[in-house]
Amino acid sequence: MGFVTSVYKLTRIFPKEELFGLTSQLRRAAVSIPSNFAEGFGRNGNNEFLHFVRIAIGSLYECQTQLEIAMNIEYITEEQFQTIYNNSKEVEALLRGLETKLNSNKKQ
């Protein structure tokens, strides 16, 4: 949830003409991360949860790519990028750890 909040705050500085472009795309991908986690958690069993965790990871990678694009086109500074990218890597590590745990439970 903290990552989503950071994305929303950061995208406030994007040009207004990006509101329906990169801003919207990045925000939707960020919101998708905890949303898929929550949906998977609410499903029946580890297999479905694992499926939704993997979707959340995909959305996170989408965010990382879009953040790099934002830096490349100078909507954000390299420092802003590094801060939020490092945050995204922490989220990635948590999701990958959960994925590994769910996957090992599946094999038992």
**Can you give the pLDDT at residue 108?**
59
pLDDT digits (tens, 9 = 90+) for 83-108: 999 999 999 999 999 999 999 987 65
Query: Residue 52 phi/psi, 5° resolution?
Result: -75, -30
Residue 5, burial from CB neighbour count under 10 angstroms (0-12, 13-18, 19+): exposed
Report if pTM > 0.85: yes
Average pLDDT over residues 39-61: 95
Residue-range domain boundaries for the chain: 2-107
pLDDT at 44 over 90: no
pLDDT digits (tens, 9 = 90+) for 4-37: 999 999 999 999 999 999 999 999 999 999 999 9
**Can you give the pLDDT at residue 106?**
72
For the domain made up of 2-107, the CATH class stated in words is mainly alpha
Cβ–Cβ under 8 Å, residues 70 and 76? yes
